[in-house]
Chain A
Amino acid sequence: MIKHLGTSLRMTIVSIVLLGLIYPLAMTAIAQVAFPKQANGSLVTVNGKVVGSWIVGQLWSKPQYFQGRPSAAGKGYDPTNTGGTNYGATSKKLIDSTKATIATLEKQNPDASGPPPMDLVTSSASGIDPDISPDAAYWEAPRVAKARKMSIAAVNALVAQHVQGRTFGFLGEPHVNVLELNLALDGLKTD
């Protein structure tokens, strides 16, 4: 046993150097050279200022912007506190908060057609889901159009331009990146 402990100690040290330090640090070095944008978090900069990340959702509250899904990450869309509600299907808290979300959405979107789509009334898993479903975007379009004094058709056309389909036609679900859509609405160019 003593012999095994000695070997264990030496093997631990040598494997930490190789797998715990050299491997991740070398990967970081290669990534920083080969894929610097992605490796540094796919940051979005406008006029030299970081306004977010392409892959991280944000909280939107003004009517002229598309809104994302409900978020349970911190006080909402906090990447340092990711997570979901973890409410089960029979949770009273889930049912009450879903009801409240629907009421708020319907109040904010009086011209929307029918009840809101499922993804707009349910909290995402990460709390920083950057996307909404195309249905959700079209559902919000009348509100955005009204706030911007645009025609609904023009907003719908913009949404259609930004819908990302399933990868290879069968992977995942079609979705729209909310930040991308809102930047396009403002006509902002990223650096």
Chain B
Amino acid sequence: MTVIGWIQAIVFFLLVLALTKPIGSYMFRVFDGQKTWLSPLLRPVERLIYRIGGVREDEEMTWYAYAFAMLAFSVVSFAYLYVLLRTQKWLPFNPQHFDNMTPDLAFNTAISFTTNTNWQFYSGENALSYLSQMAGLAWHNFVSAGVGIAIAVAVVRGVARTSVKTLGNFWVDLTRCCLYVLLPISIVVGLYFVAAGMPQNLHAYQDAVSIEGFKQTLTGGPMASQEVIKELGTNGGGFVNANSASPNENPTALTNLVELVLIFLLGAGLTYTYGKMVKDTRQGWAIFTAMAILFFAGFMLAYWAEAQGNPLVHAMGVAGGNMEGKECRFGISASALFATVTTDTSCGAVNSWHDSFMPLGGLVPLVNMQLGEIVFGGVGSGLYGMIVFVVLTVFIAGLMVGRTPEYLGKKIERREVQFAILAALVTPVLCLVPTAVAAIIPPGLATLNNGGPHGFSEILYAFTSTNANNGSAFGGLGPNLFYNIVTGTNMMFGRFAVAIPALALAGALAGKTSVPEGPGTFTTHSGIFVALLIGVIVIVGALTFLPADSLGPIVEHLLLLQGNTY
């Protein structure tokens, strides 16, 4: 580890910290229906969208109406993407004449982008038309992020409101998020990305012959416009297979920093929005603090492990940290930072291959996802995942002192805890059961790229990532019918089986009356609460996943020290 490597991470974090309040207050105004400085320009467009969509702006929805609207939109957008991928050959903007996707791969990809996962069993640069990229995947990057933030806003309204049945209007939240938040940032940063060197064109690939006579086909496409929303919406699906490691998607160390900030931006901002909505910004900062501590813990371990390097390569006389699957312009610190950030959130973009990380370096992204991606988190999903943990923490704290727990004036009772537990149990069940099955049946083992414990880690990572809607991979694992179908359904449950209980929890909270704060009220913005919250997150995660992680990265680390290879 070097001082400069740490400065890079600290400057990155300070940038996120500085942007949290401005973007958070802006989002508060957007979701509160207030005027913003963009309103004169965007309000007419917003009205037009409602008129075409048949949306009544002032209509409030109960939690189940909200959930139904969200599910209906997801079903339609899934079906649309499936059809697009199956017919791209006959549609415009396909200068490379790519064929239609196979049914199982199209199923997997369509679910993957509908659920904001962006798990990719294909390579964009040799499989997808520009139309599929722009109007299929990049469009999904906008709306699936919008859906995530809409759910989070609805959940927060549930915490903030008293004695009502409704949580807002799904269509309005979705539209305002895309129009006022995602689109303006995408336009501005997208143009910077082009200036910095990312391609943005529609023509066919360019053939080149080097001065030495080496023949090469240079790829192109509308990359910059997709790159920006890929990070901002914590989607993570690369235009090309190498994702943000490709110099086309991430040409310089500065674009790398901007991408990192984009990934954390909205998740961090939402903690401030949350504080504003519950009328106590200290609550938002308490959550922010817990997230920040978990972020630095992850980065420290990943950076340390990668900087140590591979002892088996050192034995050949070559010195230095682990550069397998990393890019020269980024180096070790920026790669470890990216791996931490992309899995703290549900992004899943990569600028280096996690599969080729050191065992303990690869453990960090794995654990980040297993904890539920609540460190700033996926746009929206991170905040509502964190609120579930807050409810559990308040409940456990209440048990410790033997009084009815309350959070922000709401009594936390049986129903709330049931929904919270349900949401918290989905991830472990959906991750560990398929992993165990895949590890013992032939189709599960057929497409591994590594042997020994690392092969097991590839399977574990795949189900952890798909179920947490992350989308990063131990990329050696190849697709087959088994993985296409099982990871596909896994992504679907991973999204909706957390979102729906979270909405139900919000619905239950919204209906409650407010109890005045008393001397015995547990303060939820103190250092003690932050420590307790981190404790609950780590204990729930560790109790559930430690056995599986031991069989993968941890045992691999010990065997590596003994010089074993597979």
Alpha-carbon gap, A168 to B7, bound state (A): 12
Q: Within B163-220, which residues are at the interface with A (CB < 8 Å)?
A: 171, 174-175, 178, 183, 186-187, 190-191, 194-203, 205-212, 214, 216-220
Alpha-carbon gap, A1 to B76, bound state (A): 12
Are the CB atoms of B317 and A115 closer together than 8 Å? yes
Q: Which residues of B contact A11 (CB under 8 A)?
A: 49, 53, 55, 73, 171, 174-175
Alpha-carbon gap, A20 to B138, bound state (A): 7
Are the CB atoms of B216 and A12 closer together than 8 Å? no
Are the CB atoms of B11 and A8 closer together than 8 Å? no
Are the CB atoms of B200 and A31 closer together than 8 Å? yes
- Tell me whether B565 is interfacial, beta carbon within 8 Å: yes
Q: Which residues of A contact B143 (CB under 8 A)?
A: 15, 19
Q: Across the interface, name the chain A residue whose C-beta is closest to B217.
A: A80
Alpha-carbon gap, A89 to B312, bound state (A): 8
| Residue of A16, A60, A122, A171 with most partner-chain B CB within 10 A | A171
Kindly supply a per-residue 1/0 record for chain A positions 58-95, scoring 1 wherever the CB is within 8 Å of any chain B CB and 0 otherwise. 11111001000100010001111111111111111011
Alpha-carbon gap, A85 to B450, bound state (A): 10
Q: How many residues in A have their beta carbons less than 8 Å from beta carbons of B?
A: 105
The smallest beta-carbon distance between B195 and chain A, in angstroms, is 5
Q: Within B461-492, which residues are at the interface with A (CB < 8 Å)?
A: 474-476
Q: Within B329-381, which residues are at the interface with A (CB < 8 Å)?
A: 329-332, 334-335, 350-353, 355-359, 362
Are the CB atoms of B178 and A7 closer together than 8 Å? no
Kindly supply a per-residue 1/0 record for chain A positions 1-37, scoring 1 wherever the CB is within 8 Å of any chain B CB and 0 otherwise. 1001111111111111011110111011011101100
The smallest beta-carbon distance between B171 and chain A, in angstroms, is 6
Assuming the A-B contacts A19-B142, A89-B358, A128-B242, are A27 and B319 also in contact, with contact meaning beta carbons closer than 8 angstroms in the complex?
Answer: no
Are the CB atoms of A170 and B11 closer together than 8 Å? yes
The smallest beta-carbon distance between A163 and chain B, in angstroms, is 12
Kindly supply a per-residue 1/0 record for chain A positions 86-121, scoring 1 wherever the CB is within 8 Å of any chain B CB and 0 otherwise. 111111101100110010000000000001111101
- Tell me whether A175 is interfacial, beta carbon within 8 Å: yes
Are the CB atoms of A19 and B451 closer together than 8 Å? no
- Tell me whether A186 is interfacial, beta carbon within 8 Å: yes
Q: Which residues of B contact A78 (CB under 8 A)?
A: 216-217
Are the CB atoms of B201 and A89 closer together than 8 Å? no
Kindly supply a per-residue 1/0 record for chain B positions 298-337, scoring 1 wherever the CB is within 8 Å of any chain A CB and 0 otherwise. 0000000000011011001111111111111111101100
Q: Across the interface, name the chain B residue whose C-beta is closest to A183.
A: B211
- Tell me whether B41 is interfacial, beta carbon within 8 Å: no
Are the CB atoms of B353 and A84 closer together than 8 Å? yes
B201 touches which one: A41, A87, A132, A179 (CB < 8 A)?
A41
Are the CB atoms of A82 and B123 closer together than 8 Å? yes
Q: Which residues of B contact A35 (CB under 8 A)?
A: 191, 194-195, 200
Q: Within A38-71, which residues are at the interface with B (CB < 8 Å)?
A: 38-43, 46, 49-62, 65, 69
Q: Which residues of A contact B351 (CB under 8 A)?
A: 125
Are the CB atoms of B318 and A79 closer together than 8 Å? no
The smallest beta-carbon distance between A131 and chain B, in angstroms, is 4
The smallest beta-carbon distance between A73 and chain B, in angstroms, is 8
- Tell me whether A140 is interfacial, beta carbon within 8 Å: no
Alpha-carbon gap, A69 to B352, bound state (A): 15
Q: Which residues of B contact A133 (CB under 8 A)?
A: 328
Q: Within A113-157, which residues are at the interface with B (CB < 8 Å)?
A: 115-119, 121-133
Q: Which residues of B contact A169 (CB under 8 A)?
A: 4
Q: Which residues of B contact A98 (CB under 8 A)?
A: 313, 316, 318
Are the CB atoms of B246 and A80 closer together than 8 Å? no
The smallest beta-carbon distance between B174 and chain A, in angstroms, is 8
- Tell me whether B406 is interfacial, beta carbon within 8 Å: no
- Tell me whether B275 is interfacial, beta carbon within 8 Å: no
Are the CB atoms of A125 and B76 closer together than 8 Å? no
Q: Across the interface, name the chain A residue whose C-beta is closest to B352.
A: A125
- Tell me whether B457 is interfacial, beta carbon within 8 Å: yes
Are the CB atoms of B474 and A86 closer together than 8 Å? yes
Q: Which residues of B contact A186 (CB under 8 A)?
A: 211
Q: Within B27-67, which residues are at the interface with A (CB < 8 Å)?
A: 45, 49, 52-55
The smallest beta-carbon distance between B182 and chain A, in angstroms, is 8
Q: Which residues of A contact B317 (CB under 8 A)?
A: 102, 115
Alpha-carbon gap, A173 to B134, bound state (A): 33
- Tell me whether A167 is interfacial, beta carbon within 8 Å: yes
The smallest beta-carbon distance between B232 and chain A, in angstroms, is 13
Are the CB atoms of B53 and A91 closer together than 8 Å? no
Assuming the A-B contacts A4-B68, A15-B142, A41-B206, are A182 and B211 also in contact, with contact meaning beta carbons closer than 8 angstroms in the complex?
Answer: yes
The smallest beta-carbon distance between B299 and chain A, in angstroms, is 15
Alpha-carbon gap, A59 to B216, bound state (A): 9
The smallest beta-carbon distance between B43 and chain A, in angstroms, is 15
The smallest beta-carbon distance between B13 and chain A, in angstroms, is 13
Are the CB atoms of B324 and A122 closer together than 8 Å? yes
Alpha-carbon gap, A169 to B362, bound state (A): 28
Q: Which residues of A contact B8 (CB under 8 A)?
A: 170-171
Are the CB atoms of A60 and B212 closer together than 8 Å? yes
Q: Across the interface, name the chain B residue whose C-beta is closest to A173.
A: B331
Are the CB atoms of A61 and B72 closer together than 8 Å? no
Are the CB atoms of B323 and A119 closer together than 8 Å? yes
- Tell me whether A160 is interfacial, beta carbon within 8 Å: no
25 contacts between A and B (CB under 8 A): A7-B55, A13-B52, A20-B135, A27-B224, A28-B225, A35-B194, A39-B201, A41-B199, A65-B212, A73-B242, A77-B214, A84-B242, A84-B325, A84-B355, A88-B454, A90-B454, A90-B556, A117-B320, A118-B319, A118-B323, A122-B325, A130-B247, A131-B327, A166-B253, A172-B330
Enumerate the 5 nearest inter-chain pairs by beta-carbon distance, A residue then B residue, closest first.
A172-B253, A173-B331, A20-B139, A20-B135, A86-B476
What would 9 more interface pairs be, CB under 8 Å, given A31-B224, A39-B199, A186-B211?
Answer: A19-B143, A42-B197, A80-B217, A81-B125, A88-B474, A102-B318, A119-B323, A172-B252, A173-B253
